[in-house]
Each structure stands twice: as C-alpha cells, then as structure tokens.
Amino acid sequence: MVTYLEPKLQLIINGTLLAGWQTANPNLIVSQSVATGVTKIESLSIRGGRADVTSQPSAMQCSIQIITSAGISDSGTAIGQTLVVNTYDYYNGVWTPLFTGIISDKTIDIDNWSNGSGTYAYTFNAYSRMASLQTHRQSWSTSPSNAVCTAGFYCYNRISEVLSNWQYSPSWIGAINTDAIYIHKRAAGTYIDAELIESAATTGRGCFHDRADGKVYYNNYAQTLQASLGTIDPYLLVAGGLQVNRSITDIVNAIHVTSTDAALHDSTASSSTSQSNYGYRYGDRNTECDVQTDMDTQASAFLSARQNPRWRPGEVVVDMGLIQTADSSSYPVYLPVRTNARYTIPMPAAMGGDLDCLVDNWAWTFSRGRMFLTMQLSLVLDTHPA
C-alpha cells in the first residue's frame, strides 16, 4: 500500500527556530515571534552537485520564498547569518538537515495588495560555506615546506593544508580521506583556494564536496565508490519524463592525459576496436600528477570506462511525500542526498534493467505542500570500470 505523508520543514536562522510545524493546507507557519499575521513558506529549492562525473561539485545553494501579511524582522534574517533547513524523517522520527549555509541576499516584493493592505513575498538566497573557497586567495612560497610549492606531497595533503592555512573553521571541515597520488609542486605565488583544491581532487580522481550538514569532505578514488544506499522504491519514482539514453557521443576511445610536470610525458590509451565500430572519439584529462604510472593508470581506466556505449539514466524524480507502508524503511535512504551517493535505479528490462548509479547533482523542491527530489546520475561504470 502506498500512502502520502505530508513533508515537513524547519527553518533555523542563527540558531533560532523560525518554523517548526505543518499546517493542514499545506505550508509551514513561521513563528509568531518573527512575524505577526499569516505567514507561510510558499516555495523552497536546494541544489548541489557537479555537472557530470568527471568534474568537481560546486557549492550548494538554497532559495526560499516566504509569503507574509506582516514584515519579517530584518535583524533576525540578516545577510551573513547561518541558515539551516531541516526536513522530518518519518522512519526514524527525527529532523534531519537538507541544507546548512549562509544567507547571501534578500528581496522583498509585493505579493498581493488591496485597499492599503496585503501580503509581502520575502525571498532569501543562501549558499553553503564551501562557496567561500571561491572568494579567498592565499600566497604560497617554497619556505616553509608546504603541499603547494614543495614536492613529495599527496593530493589530500594539499587539500588539508589549504583548508587549515586560513580561518576555515574546523566545525565545517568533515573527513578529508587520504590518498596515495603524488601532486606536482607549483611555483610560488598567489592562488584561489577553490582552484587549488579542485585541481588536487581531480588529480587524485577523488571528489571534494559539501553535504547537508554544512561540512566539506574529500573522498579518494576508492571511496567515491561506496556501498549502495539501496534501490529507489519504484512506487516513489515519477514516471513522467523517466528515460534512459545510449549515445555515440558518450564514447571516448582515444585518451590523452597530461600533467603540469614537464618531466613526465603525456599518457595515451586507445581502442582500435572501438574506433572501428564508432569512429575516432577523442577525450583528454588534465592533471597535476607527479608520477608517470599514475597518469598511465588514469588513461587506461578512462578508456575502459568510456570506449563502448551504455544505457545511462536521464533525470530521475522522487516524490518525497509518497511512501510504501509495507517497506517504510525505503524513505530515509534519500535523507540527505549528496554527491556520489550510490543508488540502484529500477528500470524496465526494455530500458536497460536496474542501473547502478552515482548522484552527480540534485535539487530539492518544495511548493504548496509537495516535495520532490530531482537527481542527475552517472553510471558507476563511468568512473569505476569492471
């Protein structure tokens, strides 16, 4: 039996709970200590992830629109204050985060007005703390020894050092997993923190990303393939728009891997069989590898993953209000979703059957009492060939 459970949301700004209960029809009420009169969350969206499995994720973003018949305290919702969005996990009976970040801008519009009174529409935008890496630069030199300008360090060493060398709070730094990929030293200079970290994560074939708890994490290559969180319940999938695609444009059968280390030679890999079947299809990968065998390994894996066409999923939409009561444990596996979360997508045999996938990007959307999770996915085999 499939039933509908009305999604619940909480808003917490600077540690103060602004919304914590659900109305029957169908939106949240904001605390009367913040606004008088009728106030509701009209819509909410949270987005995060990467463009595709070969790129690094961008910072999570959140947008909220609140309709109110009275003004909302400006000091209580100021730019730069922390914002936490929680949703209720029915299975475990707890509130769990969907987003943790910083308010970046606020807009006030007239929603409805007549005879001198009406309602206002407040729109709040926020970004995760990971975004601050894009707006901070650091100067690095050859002394003292460091993971940017000194040889002999791994990719994860550089990520850890960039994060610890400024005022990034330990409270928003999650696990930075170790790897064994040496990274080529850079010339002394000033670099943007995000660029140093993204290049190191790409060189290590890992994934540097943020999560709903507001922290940043680094998974090395092996850890980007974690245990599956389970099969998406087919009862929760929105059938409209569900598709798979197999295209010749996804094929790469002539690989070129480069490094900033001029002492190394470029690494190449190719498949004459694939080229005979599908034509010559070139792909490259730019790294800061400091060891030739690491480049060769990446070229070989890239070729194995992309030399033949495969069924790939399109957009997958999950209705978070639906739940199969006979298997209610299916509900919490999506809470919260993150980059590289691994799911099995149940597809009919004619559409390739069950697909083993990694999440590239996602969006939570809440509007008028309905909440959906939209995911773009890549196949596990796109980065971890059998």
Instruction: Give me the residue label for tokens 């109110």.
Output: 68
Of 182 and 383, the structure prediction assigns the larger pLDDT to 182
Rounded Cα distance between 360 and 382, Å, is 12
Buried b (16+ CB within 10 A) or exposed e, 10-42: bbbbeeeebbbebeeeebbbbeeebbeeebbbb
Instruction: Give me the residue label for tokens 């060398």.
Output: 165
Query: Residue 234: its pLDDT value, please?
Result: 81
Q: Residue 325 — pLDDT band, cuts 50, 70, 90? A: low
Question: Quick one: which H or E segment has residue 337?
Answer: none
Tokens matching residue 69:
């018949």
The helices-and-strands tally (H runs, E runs) of the chain is 4, 24
| 20 pLDDT higher than 50 | no
Q: Tell me the mean pLDDT in the region 158-164.
A: 94
Q: Find which of 70-84, 241-255, 270-284, 369-383 is predicted with most confidence, using mean pLDDT.
A: 270-284
Tell me how many degrees the CA angle 142-146-149 measures, rounded to the nearest 5.
45
| 25 pLDDT higher than 50 | no
What DSSP string describes 122-188?
EEEEEE-GGGGGGG-EEEE-SSS--TTTSSS-BHHHHHHHHHHSSS--GGGEEEE-----BBPPPPS
| 159 pLDDT higher than 60 | yes
Give per-residue pLDDT as tens, 33-81.
Answer: 333 344 677 889 999 999 988 899 999 999 998 887 766 766 667 788 8
Q: Residue 17 — pLDDT band, cuts 50, 70, 90? A: confident
In sequence order, the β-bridge partners of residue 126 are: 62, 103
Please state, in angstroms and as integers, the Cα–Cα distance from residue 246 to each residue in 232, 304, 305, following that order.
21, 17, 14
Query: Residue 367: its pLDDT value, please?
Result: 76
Q: Residue 172 — pLDDT band, cuts 50, 70, 90? A: confident
Q: Residue 355 — pLDDT band, cuts 50, 70, 90? A: very high
Query: Residue 24: its pLDDT value, please?
Result: 34
Q: Which domains does the chain have, with CATH numbers?
A: 133-224 (3.55.50), 248-306 (3.30.1920)
| 22 pLDDT higher than 50 | no
| 30 pLDDT higher than 50 | no
Burial (Cβ within 10 Å: 0-12, 13-18, ≥19) of residue 139: exposed
Residue-averaged pLDDT of the chain: 85
Evaluate the omega torsion of the peptide bond into residue 144 and state whether it is cis, within 30 degrees of 0: yes
Phi and psi at residue 145, in whole multiples of 5°? -55, 135
pTM, to two decimals: 0.89
Q: Tell me the mean pLDDT in the region 320-331.
A: 58
Tokens matching residue 51:
């463009």
Give per-residue pLDDT as tens, 254-276.
Answer: 999 999 999 999 999 999 999 99
Q: Tell me the mean pLDDT in the region 135-156.
A: 95
Query: Residue 226: its pLDDT value, please?
Result: 82
| 115 pLDDT higher than 60 | yes
| 105-109, 118-122, 151-155, 184-188, range with the lowest pLDDT | 118-122
What distance separates the 2 farthest-apart alpha carbons in the chain?
76
| First-last CA distance in the chain | 38
Distance of CA 349 to the CA centre of its chain: 29
> Quick one: what percent of the chain has pLDDT higher than 90?
53
Please state, in angstroms and as integers, the Cα–Cα distance from residue 76 to each residue in 30, 71, 312, following that order.
13, 11, 46
Query: Residue 236: its pLDDT value, please?
Result: 80
